[in-house]
Amino acid sequence: MGRRNTLSDGDVVIEPTREKGEPLLGPNAIMVAIPSELGFMVDLTHAERAPLRTFSPFKLFIAKKDKDLPLALAGPLLGAPQGVIVMEKLIALGANRIWVLGWCGSLQPYLLIGDLVIPTAALSEEGTSPHYPVNERRRQTSPLLSKRLEDALARANLPFQKGPVWTTDAFYRETMKKVKAYAKRGFLAVEMEMSALITVALYRSVELAGLLIVSDELSSLEWHNGVGADKLKGRSREAGRVLLDLCTGGSSGGSNAY
């Protein structure tokens, strides 16, 4: 995580807050990194755009089903700084169970485009986490939420792998040496947000789980880009449905509650 900056301790100038006219959320919120999948999930749930009063580099939608508490769908997002801005706002609006849907690049030869990954922890090569002092406690996703997600995927007959991922700010500096070294250490994939989101969840005492779909492959040290592939699109939408069912009390993946 790097050396802790003690200047990050203490009171802050700008607090994430719920402002007048902004919605009060239920406990669950889904952060959707990919614009196309956010649009799909918004259409599927007939979610409505919610107002945000301050600087907010993302869109917030509210989905309601029967008597369920409002479910937030937020995004798109790219990278740790934007991801944390989204997450901080969702927490300020009342969410305390954060689910993340995104894409990742596989580091292991057995992870192919369209495969699913549940991140359990993340190696940070991003600059946002050090600003949230968490006293060196173990940084990991919520075991409870991750177990619920595993069970839901199993019921939906969707295979997955779980394990640590590598988070980087530098998309164009994923060097061959790093790919080989981190794959050898057991990291499953590379992406751009999870380590910061895990750290903020710990700092803010909320629960966090992620579900990533392999969009590209790096293990051969050549870039195999799957964006636009039918399998990636289909699996992303299956993953989105599973998260929606989990958050709305559906049968977690098998019923297509939406």
Query: Is residue 2 situated within a structural domain?
Result: no
Range(s) of the domain holding residue 149 = 23-248
Q: Is residue 132 part of a domain?
A: yes
Residue by residue, pLDDT tens for the chain (258 residues) are 445 566 667 788 988 999 999 999 999 999 999 999 999 999 999 999 999 987 788 999 999 866 667 899 999 999 999 999 999 999 999 999 999 999 999 999 999 999 999 999 999 999 999 999 886 667 899 999 999 999 999 999 999 999 999 999 999 999 999 999 999 999 999 999 999 999 999 999 999 999 999 999 999 999 999 999 999 999 999 999 999 999 987 633 344 455
**Cα–Cα dist 215/171, whole Å:** 14
Task: Tally the domains of the chain.
Answer: 1
35 in a domain, yes or no? yes
- Which residues are registered as beta bridge partners of 106? 189, 217
For residue 5, being part of any structural domain is answered with no
According to DSSP, the residues that pair with 161 across neighbouring strands are 117
Helix (H) or strand (E) holding 194: helix 194-204
Q: Read off the CATH number of the domain in which 113 is found.
A: 3.40.50.1580
The verdict on residue 171 lying in a domain is yes
Q: Which residue has the tokens 């009171």?
A: 11
User: In this structure, is residue 10 part of a structural domain?
Assistant: no
Specify the pTM. 0.92
